Structure 1
């Protein structure tokens, strides 16, 4: 165990609602969160290439992540959390995504569930789940389904349990990022009247089956496999209304999307910085008539373009985070739309930048960049798989329709 892990190693464990977990450090400020993230990211970088190459799931790293207190940074101050800014959340996710794209994505759905809770949870639910998270509980997700005709369709059902104060969940989910590392799995379900809920199901509940079957060529260690639910009982107090997060103006959608943009921006920045180091070691192209690749004018030109694009994504990310934080105290249809459009801008731009920067890394590194031991391809593979989450081409459409026709974008988690 590393020195940093020892600092935040708990002296005892706690049990809440049959969940056993180590007591976590509690972060109080944005500055503390950023300092801890910087230290942990250096540590996680050491074995990043090996984890990707051998698909070693980062159980140890995720435990260190949650013990450090970073999993609780969005908990509101009134409940004992740091309630850091959206920009701080984005910076932290980008930082870890540059080191290891998989680790950068794992907390995204945890923060997403907490944002649904902040908007739709009852006071009793907020007190319960925020206390869990501050203590060290990790949430995964079970939102998407693989066997439906469209992404909007959901077959996983929730129904009133017989002779018990609670519900029963049945169904199957796919792309359940973080579920293998989670204590609870917030699960998107529908009732007989087609209302949607987020059920905060214990990962060890009877009838829950977590399957390590994710085979994507990128984001290989996100724990994004299948989760099956067979007559799984869930307490009534553990079920939060979900669909109202989008039928009313809330930040659930833009907040979810800015974290995705942060993942791509972080990958782009890491790929660009790696490109600079590789170019300094690469041989010049014969027609350049220079002695080293860092003097090749066409190589310099390509690096300049990437530098501009990466910086543009970072600026757009900051602008989007600012729009979210402005809307947060008093959300309206108009300021939520503004935040959604600003997030769509960075999401579309970061998609293209991450793909280009990670591809140019291999190109400008030359034939040496193809060596498996160096793992340079992991940045492109991670970017390519993550950017499939939702289509950037539709983001440009919504942006255009907003600026041209003043048509507000749809409210959902995939804008």
Structure 2
């Protein structure tokens, strides 16, 4: 695809053309993992440059979604792979190790596909899953910048025949710039939240390229303006039903975040080792010839790799629990998925931040030079781990284990 000319800051970004060919459909875990590894090797090559210059990953995103990795949780009953979340989180971990912005972009897409499976009507499922299998990408227009709490929504819709009309303003709209459809969280007259899945080119839907965070710079986020956007009722999903009773919808949204943070930590540790082996000098008092001989460095790397392996083990354990909650939703299976995911989230967050700090401590001053672009790991970790605070994960865990209180049902739990 040809490069898009970036508009000025407050202009809307025009929608992109959809792929001319249908996306590939992956059939098993092994193919998904092999495909992710092949894509990751390509994505890693330009990751530092894309971050430094904030280059939109247009070709990379097309390759990612056309590979079939964006339809992994589409049910088999509708022609999809319906792979396990054990496989899906491995895919996101692999991609995020190469470029965590690309790893984060499909997070809401995966969550919306899961929600369509959970609460969509059969005819909606057929219609929307066909689009996903063909290569359609869902962005998101969920969060609102000025609301009192993250789950407070002022964006609303009214019914008009076979359509709904949506008005409001959104921010943190990951993936919306280059999406084909934009699921909008909008409330009805009873303050219930729905997903109104609007065409990216719908009149009144404007996506502004104003994401200015210092990390995760190419997640294609920004402001979404909704001025009487018309969405057919076939594309309006009762998202609130996924939290009216126990379902896996919440932990599915969460576990993808865990996989992204795990990938960030993995990349930072890999780059630390590479720098120590090739560029760092030993400390003056060590009497050693190489930095990689330093016993304190050796111990620190051992600790980081140990915790990375532990984080991946907890991620896998959480994915098993999510798979069980998908197959057999109920109060106990969903709570187990939430708790297992919260534990993985705590460790992946703390490791990502620690590993990206340790990179500079161990590799030395030379590692801070702009030519190495290693600061992106810390910036990405610090930005992405702010998505939902781990101090509340500790509270959820403590209340569950001490008082038997199950976690709340929402997209952050």
In which range does the TM-score fall when normalised by the shorter chain?
A: over 0.9
- In structure 2, the residue matched to 1:6 is none
Equivalent position SS for 1:189: strand
1:360 maps onto 2:393 in alignment? no
Distance 1:329 1:98 in 2: 29
Three-state SS of the structure 1 residue aligned to 2:297 is helix
What does residue 75 of structure 1 align with? 74
1:48 is aligned to 2:44: no
Residue in 2 that maps onto 1:209: 206
Q: Which residue does the alignment assign to 1:174?
A: 171
CA distance in 2, matches of 1:112, 1:19: 24
Q: What is the CA distance between 1:152 and its match in structure 2?
A: 2.1
Unaligned runs of 5+ in 2: 2-15
Give the secondary structure class of the aligned counterpart of 1:328.
helix
Q: Is the 8 A contact 1:140 1:179 kept in 2?
A: yes
User: Within 2, Cα distance between the matches of 1:331 and 1:21?
Assistant: 36
Q: CA deviation at 1:311?
A: 1.1
Matched with 2:244 is 247
Find out whether 1:221 has 2:215 as its counterpart.
no
**Counterpart in the other structure of 1:304:** 302
The residue correspondences of 1:160-171 to structure 2 (distance < 5 A) are: 160-161=159-160, 164-171=161-168
2:105 maps to 106
Deviation of 1:213 after TM superposition, in Å, equals: 0.3
Q: Which residue of 1 aligns with 2:145?
A: 146
Residues in 2 aligned to 1:210 and 1:152: alpha-carbon distance in whole angstroms: 21
TM-score, length basis structure 1:
0.94
How far residue 19 of structure 1 moved from its aligned partner, in angstroms, is 8.4
Q: Is the 8 A contact 1:29 1:84 kept in 2?
A: yes
TM score, norm. by length of structure 2: 0.94
Matched, 1:85 2:72: no
1:288-340 Cα deviation digits (max 9, x unpaired): 22111111111112112111111111110011011111222211101100110
Question: Tell me, what secondary structure is at the counterpart of 2:285?
Answer: helix
Q: Distance in 2 between matches of 1:30 and 1:302?
A: 34
**Residue of structure 2 equivalent to 1:14:** none
In structure 2, relative to structure 1, the CA distance for the partners of 1:60 and 1:195 (3 Å cut) is same
Deviation at 1:21, TM superposition (A): 3.5
Name the residue aligned to 2:256. Answer: 259
Query: 1:94: Cα distance to partner?
Result: 0.8
Count of aligned positions: 397
Per the alignment, do residues 53 and 356 of structure 1 end up closer, same or farther by CA in structure 2, a change over 3 Å counting?
same
Secondary structure, aligned partner of 2:329: coil
Give unpaired runs (5+ residues) of structure 1: 2-17
The aligned residue for residue 281 of structure 2 is 283
1:363–1:369 contact (8 Å) kept in structure 2: no
Range with greater deviation from structure 2 (403-412 or 206-215): 403-412
Distance apart, 1:149 and its partner CA: 2.0
Query: 1:131 is matched with which residue?
Result: 130
Q: Deviations over 1:329-352 (max 9, x none)?
A: 211101100110000000011000
